[in-house]
Amino acid sequence: MPFSNITSQSQTVRPRIAAFWSPPGSVGRTTTALNVAACAATSVRVLLVDLDFVSPSVALLAANQDLPSLSTVLHHHQITQKIDEAFLQEFAPHFSGSRKDFRVVAGLSRQERWPEIKAQLLQSLFHELSPFIDLILCDLQASSHRSLGVNAVARGILAEADSVVALANANPLGLARLLREIHDLRELRQSAESINVVFNRMSTKAPEPPEAAAFVELTKMPQPLTIRDDYDAFELLVASASTKATLRKRSAYKTDIQALTDKVLGL
């Protein structure tokens, strides 16, 4: 049963869901999702779920890299039919180890295991997390065109999430890749207003990228957001299992991530 079908049938209140999506290419999607999670966690309870079945990397950046996989989490929940603080501590620990930080669920290490992820099990988990989690961020596999034909879970999340963050690099190649894939994403969404297009990795000294204006002209979609990069914090990010947004309190990157976080939260 598709994720979207069971979402529409259920009347249970679930946490707010935001999906992070991108066309093919290294655009910094997971890093952006991690930093939005860190910013959002200052005001709401956040869970980041790694649903990237090409190159899952959330677990590699977390303080505890021996995280249970999503398949293990769903299997245990199916058996116990119970979520409490002990369940969260074991299966969705805090990213940095601090109780003030967001929680994470790791992805699967092998692509061939993704058929184990059943839509109704994931949907049940998301709904039963509502007493403990306010916002669920889903880091999805890169290409909608290639993945969604074989991954109903990803397709359902992209269709039913409260918002989608669509990332691309701020250069001509990034724009071309985004334009090639954005049509598939728009067909899944009821409104283009709920798709937050973001041009990532801008130079802090650069003006508004010409790709943003070209994107609006060609698609008639809302004005994209931009994220200016902060190279100085990257090594600290990897070394401390923290995030650029929390390590550097005053930077253009922090400002841009906060603006995107507000969009994700519906502010």
Question: Could you read off the pLDDT of 51-62 as tens digits, one per residue?
Answer: 987 788 888 877
CA-wise closest residue to 140 among 120, 173, 114: 114
**pLDDT at res. 239:** 54
Residue 232: pLDDT band with limits 50, 70, 90 = low
Distance CA 198, CA 112 (A): 31
Is the predicted pLDDT of residue 231 greater than 70, yes or no? Answer: no
Predicted confidence (pLDDT) per residue in 103-114, tens digit: 999 988 777 777
Residue 41 lies inside a defined structural domain of this protein: yes
Residue 52 lies inside a defined structural domain of this protein: yes
CA-wise closest residue to 193 among 163, 217, 170: 163
SS3 annotation, 28-68: CHHHHHHHHHHHHCCCCCEEEEEECCCCCCHHHHCCCCCCC
Residue 266 lies inside a defined structural domain of this protein: no
- CATH code, 128: 3.40.50.300
Distance CA 148, CA 126 (A): 20
* Phi, psi of 134, rounded to the nearest 5 degrees: -100, -30
Residue 236 lies inside a defined structural domain of this protein: yes
User: Which alpha helices (DSSP H) does the chain contain, by range?
Assistant: 3-9, 29-40, 58-61, 70-80, 85-91, 119-128, 144-147, 152-160, 172-188, 210-219, 234-240, 244-247, 252-264
Which domain, by its residues, includes 249?
3-260
Q: Give the count of domains, the chain.
A: 1
Residue 265 lies inside a defined structural domain of this protein: no
| Averaged pLDDT score across all residues of the chain | 84
Alpha carbon 170 to its chain centroid, in Å, reads 19
Tokens of 91: 């299966």
Predicted confidence (pLDDT) per residue in 2-61, tens digit: 454 444 444 457 899 999 999 888 898 998 999 999 999 999 999 999 998 778 888 887
Bridge partners (DSSP) listed for residue 18: 137, 163
Residue 248 lies inside a defined structural domain of this protein: yes
Note the pTM of the prediction, 2 decimals.
0.88
Bridge partners (DSSP) listed for residue 225: 198
**pLDDT at res. 166:** 96
Residue 267 lies inside a defined structural domain of this protein: no
- Between 64-73, 144-153, 190-199, the lowest mean confidence (pLDDT) is in 144-153
Which residue's entry shows tokens 């999503």?
70
Distance CA 26, CA 30 (A): 10
Residue 195 lies inside a defined structural domain of this protein: yes
Mean pLDDT, residues 239-261 taken together: 72
